[in-house]
């Protein structure tokens, strides 16, 4: 299927400097608030970076059978922290709240964020993965053609705040302008609830990353069918606040993980080798 590359935009608030994280004494309970980019003082202290992880989006991030966070992004975040000499605390958050939390200074960076022209005005990115988007329906559901125009009249579940929202809304307007039914774009808190909307018959399809589609189809055989266009080629990066210096640290740490083989091992663990990059780039030009 032809890859449709579409620029998307998502508005976020003005430039700021990343706020505070927590310093905790190793083996102790005392804590001290410091800037996320500030150096630790003393060998007995370990800087803690709180990182948001959206659950229900395998293989990116999800809860394992024991209810613990697992997936490509938590593993990469933890490995980056180790390379940077800090402790990473992964915690659950919706994607929307992840970006808002970054702006409030609650998080050191946001993993798994698509690089867009609009976001580049407010955030810095260090790329970590490459990806695209597609659609899935129930195994006995409708079949969607290979063009975005084939989405006219289709109801689609999508994660709130994610980049496909604007793409689907723009396509809906094109459908109406052509005298066709609009795309019924319905947003949900996370991928799991978006998929549940399809399973329950509330929507015809859900959209997700191509790697996520493949993973879910393999792990839930007979439940899903992949159909429709592959669209929106994207660079995926770790987002940080504009000008706070975190992107350079993330880039250097990613490069180190690539060279020492840790990066490849993490991707292989989740069957996502096709998403690998050869080098991390700061603030790349978004795909047109």
Q: Could you report the per-residue pLDDT of 9-39, keeping only the tens digit for each?
A: 333 323 332 333 322 223 333 333 333 433 3
Instruction: Give phi and psi for 115, each to the nearest 5.
Output: -85, 115
% of the chain exceeding 90 in pLDDT? 69
pLDDT at 11: 34
- Comparing CA positions, the residue from 14, 37, 19 lying closest to residue 106 is 19
pLDDT tens for residues 104-129? 999 999 999 999 999 999 999 999 99
DSSP 59: T
Distances (CA, A) of 144 to 194, 209, 212, 228, 233: 18, 17, 18, 4, 19
**Residue 285 is encoded by which pair of tokens?**
């030009």
pLDDT at 222: 93
- Comparing CA positions, the residue from 159, 284, 175, 161 lying closest to residue 233 is 284
- Bridge-based pairing state of the strands 87-92 and 62-63: unpaired
pLDDT tens for residues 153-192? 999 999 998 889 999 999 999 999 999 999 999 999 988 8
Using the predicted structure, report yes or no on whether residue 8 has a pLDDT greater than 80: no
- Bridge-based pairing state of the strands 45-53 and 184-188: unpaired
pLDDT tens for residues 187-220? 999 888 999 999 999 999 999 988 888 888 878 8
User: What mean pLDDT value characterizes the chain?
Assistant: 84
Per the model's pLDDT, the better-predicted residue between 159 and 45 turns out to be: 159
Using the predicted structure, report yes or no on whether residue 285 has a pLDDT greater than 70: yes
Per the model's pLDDT, the better-predicted residue between 132 and 246 turns out to be: 246
Spatial distance between the Cα atoms of 264 and 274, rounded to a whole number of angstroms: 10
pLDDT at 273: 85
First-to-last alpha carbon distance for the chain, in angstroms, is: 18
Q: Is 107 helix (H, G, I), strand (E, B) or coil?
A: coil
pLDDT at 288: 55
């Amino acid at each position: 299927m032809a890859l449709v590359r579409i620029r998307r935009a998502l508005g976020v608030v003005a430039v700021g400097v990343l706020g505070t994280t927590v310093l905790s004494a190793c083996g102790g309970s005392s804590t001290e608030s410091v800037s996320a980019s500030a150096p630790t003082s003393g060998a007995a202290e370990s800087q803690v970076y709180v990182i948001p992880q959206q659950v229900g989006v395998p293989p990116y991030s999800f809860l394992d059978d024991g209810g613990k966070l697992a997936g490509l992004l938590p593993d990469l975040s933890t490995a980056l922290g180790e390379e940077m000499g800090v402790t990473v605390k992964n915690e659950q958050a919706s994607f929307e709240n992840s970006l808002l939390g970054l702006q409030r200074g609650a998080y050191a960076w946001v993993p798994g964020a698509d690089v867009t022209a609009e976001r580049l005005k407010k955030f810095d990115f260090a790329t970590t993965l490459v990806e695209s988007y597609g659609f899935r329906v129930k195994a006995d559901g409708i079949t969607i053609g290979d063009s975005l125009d084939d989405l006219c009249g289709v109801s689609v579940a999508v994660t709130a705040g994610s980049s496909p929202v604007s793409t689907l809304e723009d396509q809906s307007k094109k459908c109406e302008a052509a005298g066709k039914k609009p795309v019924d774009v319905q947003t949900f808190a996370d991928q799991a609830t978006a998929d549940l909307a399809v399973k329950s018959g509330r929507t015809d399809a859900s959209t997700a990353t191509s790697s996520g589609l493949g993973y879910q189809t393999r792990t839930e055989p007979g439940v899903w069918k992949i159909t429709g266009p592959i669209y929106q080629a994207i660079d995926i990066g770790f987002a940080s606040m504009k000008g706070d210096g975190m992107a350079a640290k993330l880039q250097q740490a990613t490069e180190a993980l690539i060279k020492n083989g840790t990066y490849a091992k993490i991707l292989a663990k989740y069957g996502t080798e096709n998403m690998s990059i050869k080098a991390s780039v700061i603030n790349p030009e978004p795909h047109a």
